[in-house]
Structure 1
Amino acid sequence: MGVVASTYIILILAMMLADLSYTTTGHILEALQSKEIQYAIKLSLITCTITMVLSVLVAIPLGYFMARFEFRFKKVIDAVLDIPIVLPPLVIGLSLLILFQTAPGQFIESHVRITYTVYSVIIAQFMVACAFAVRTMYVTFIQINNRQEQVALTLGCNQRQSFFYILLPQAKNGILTAASLAWARALGEFGPILIFSGATRMRTEVLPTTVFLEMSVGNIEAAVAVSLIMILSGFAVLLIVRLFGDKNTAL
């Protein structure tokens, strides 16, 4: 492992250790006892899970379509799918906000209030998280040889049966990875939520906006405590997925 790579790993660990040195168990427990932070944790878990499910439901067919079919403007569509990854998060939030000021957005708003509600939190998370899930499923399907699908088709299976009974079982680790990335990305989303949903206590407050609100009032200890909760949650999810994925691979 090169010096640059080692330095990067050390930097990540150093940041985490710095957070740990700045807070105490008491600060974390005090943060967990706050009604506002309890609400933020609950809302984060709910919205991240919904975002994860929606992202996977979109990523599987879209990733399959991009991996298995050739068509005009495929490279253009491929680039479009990566826009949420490369755009600054604040730009995504602003674009969503403007979208719901247009005629189609206002029509939706006249029936269901979206902006500055929990719905907007899910949409903001989904816009970014889904892009990571789609990219993961695209790579997953690209790496799976379609020979078994072709054999299944020659033996009487239709395209739908081949997809569900042959391809999806082989893609289970990729699906798990896409789901975990979508959940973890949604958990850390801040910019789009701040612009599109606001940071209203006990309404649209999720963990990233809690860090922002606590810092804005000078409560650095609580902000660091919430940051550690997010770090541990994300690390636990990613670690479990990797262990589970390695187990499935071994099988």
Structure 2
Amino acid sequence: MAVFVAFVLLLIIADIFYIDRKAVLTVLTSSFIRHALWMSIWTSITTVFLSLFFAIPMGFILSRHRFRGRLLVDTVIDLPIIFPPLVAGLTLLVFFSQTVFGRWIQEDLGIEFVFQPKGIVLCQFLVSASFAIRSAKTAFDDVDRRFENVALTLGCSQWGSFCRVSLPLASNGIIAGGILTWARAFGLFGPLIIFVGSFRGRTEVLSTTVFLEQSIGNLEVALAVALLMILVALIALTIIHFVGGTAQVKL
């Protein structure tokens, strides 16, 4: 354990000592990096809310109900977790550019995703929503059903029992899943390059900024942006561990 932790820390320390003051100033003052940071933040936060919108009801249904095709649903939910991220971007690109239904959405309905900021959210949602769904299911699994039954015997409806008992007791686990979903979406790279590209001032996010900077030889700036992303990830993981520990104590 100590060897692994030391190895990870050494990698981060090496990056810190490699960058110079000029690279740090570039990150702090560059307008395109500020825009990439803003794009990373608002798209990932939007993805979290969209993921939780689906994750809470889906997690509750998977936790409380047995139905035909449940195994298939479980498998499909896990697919975005296990297939390579590049596959997600390529699949989305083919769907919206080569299929009749995809072209109908873009051309007839006017909802454009390819090489558009909305496509960033769609990529992030496809890759990271599964984490929110799994976390929500686990959170509801940990809620004692006796509490729900007591609420029902006291006159609560099914909806009232869900809102007043199940959801509050599962909230910490759901929040932790939301944070994990955000962290996954925030650092996404592969699908974005294929599906939305990395146009500065339009679809560039921090992860693609790292790629662009290192591809033109600005390794110091690329590392400085990468360290900014690591800092954000560390903050997110700290919150995850805190919320997760609180959830275990309360449940």
Q: Give the TM bin, normalised by the shorter chain.
A: over 0.9
**Runs (5+) with no aligned partner, structure 1:** none
- Aligned match of 1:28: 24
Give the Cα–Cα distance (whole angstroms) in 1 for the partners of residues 164 and 120 of structure 2.
35
Cα shift at 1:14: 2.1
Give the Cα–Cα distance (whole angstroms) in 1 for the partners of residues 234 and 139 of structure 2.
22
Letter matched to residue 175 of structure 1: I
The answer to whether the 8 Å contact 2:173/2:247 transfers is no
Give the Cα–Cα distance (whole angstroms) in 2 for the partners of residues 45 and 84 of structure 1.
22
TM-score for both structures, normalised by structure 1: 0.93
- Aligned match of 1:11: 7
CA shift in 2, pair 1:10/1:75, >3 Å: farther
- Aligned match of 2:103: 106
Q: How does 1:89-238 map to 2 (within 5 A)?
A: 89-101=85-97, 102-110=99-107, 111-238=110-237
- CA deviations on 1:39-73 (whole Å, 9 max, x unpaired) are 10011111011011111111111111111111122
- CA deviations on 1:124-144 (whole Å, 9 max, x unpaired) are 011111111111111111121
- CA deviations on 1:174-228 (whole Å, 9 max, x unpaired) are 1210110011001110011111111111110000000000011010001000000
Whether 2:70 is the aligned partner of 1:74: answer: yes
Give the Cα–Cα distance (whole angstroms) in 2 for the partners of residues 25 and 135 of structure 1.
42
TM-score for both structures, normalised by structure 2: 0.93
Secondary structure of the equivalent of 1:175? helix
Q: Report the aligned-residue RMSD.
A: 1.6
Cα shift at 1:83: 0.5
- CA deviations on 1:146-172 (whole Å, 9 max, x unpaired) are 111112112211111111100111012
Match of 1:39 among 35, 42, 51: 35
What is the aligned-residue identity percentage? 41
- Aligned match of 1:51: 47
Give the Cα–Cα distance (whole angstroms) in 2 for the partners of residues 29 and 18 of structure 1.
19
**Runs (5+) with no aligned partner, structure 2:** none
> Aligned pairs, how many?
247
Give the Cα–Cα distance (whole angstroms) in 2 for the partners of residues 7 and 73 of structure 1.
45
Give the Cα–Cα distance (whole angstroms) in 1 for the partners of residues 197 and 224 of structure 2.
22
